[in-house]
Each structure stands twice: as structure tokens, then as C-alpha cells.
Amino acid sequence: MTSLCPSATFSLPVRIYYEDTDAGGVVYYANYLRFCERARSEWLRALGFGQQQLLAAGGPLFVVRSVRADYLAPARLDDSLTVVSTIHNLKNVSVLFLQRIFREDRLLFTAEVKIVSVSLASGRPVPWPDAVRAQFHDQLLPYPSR
């Protein structure tokens, strides 16, 4: 179940399965990035922008330009997590997502993920389509204090 809240925050629940963990039953570090990718993709879909639909209409690819991640506490087998995503910066060809993963009220992981709009044909950065840019702009939040 996903939710797009009026507060411009998108939440995606994630259950931890055996396949997500290492030999000790702790979530493998790269899987946090997979969970964040799923949340961004589901948010775009909830906004009406499935990535395949955009590509079929000649729209851009969404390419990860950079990631800054902090692993604060481990998630484990069978945990129920929530990936919370917000947008904090929008430029002509890029958008900055802040993504946080919680187990109940405990913050386990944070990431700043910069996504760039790239032409499928040229591989070069291109401006966001107007409709996408407008939706991103409507979702912008100030960056939270640390």
C-alpha cells in the first residue's frame, strides 16, 4: 500500500525477506538503495508518470547522478519498514530526493539521491517535461534541519 500525502511526502512499506539479508540476517547494504529506487518509481507512478509511459511518449530517462547515504541502524529479517521520500531541490535537468527508511519510529537509513533527466537518444541531460516539472515543483519541501 502506498500513500501520497498532502504534505508532499510519499511512503512505501517494505517487508524484509530472507533474500534481502546477509548471512547474519541483517539487510545487505545495497538493498537500502533498491528500496529507495522502488519508492521513487512508485511515487512517479502515483503522480501519473510511469517510466515506461514517459519513454514511449519520447520522454526522458531518470538517471541517478549521485547518492549520499548514511546507515544509522540495521534492519533485520521480517522487519516491516517504511521508505519516506521527499523532494528538496528542483533544477532544469535534476531533482534531489531525500529518502529515509524507518522501522516504526526509528530512523535506520537516510539518502540524498540526485536524479537527472537524460535523453534516451543522445544520453545527454535534457530539461524535465513541463508536466513532470510541474508535479515535482508541487511536491517541493524545504530541506529538513539536521
Q: What are 36's three cell numbers?
A: 529507495
Backbone φ and ψ of 2, nearest 5° = -115, 160
Q: What are 87's three cell numbers?
A: 523532494
Q: What are 112's three cell numbers?
A: 540524498
Annotation marks residue 78 as catalytic:
no
- Among candidate residues 20, 22, 70, 105, the one labeled active-site is 22
Q: Is 145 left (phi over 0), alpha (psi -120 to 50) or beta?
A: beta
Backbone φ and ψ of 134, nearest 5° = -65, -45
What is the DSSP code string of 27-69?
Answer: BPHHHHHHHHHHHHHHHHHHTT--HHHHHHTT--EEEEEEEEE
d(C-alpha 53, C-alpha 24), whole Å: 40
- Which residues are part of the catalytic machinery? 22
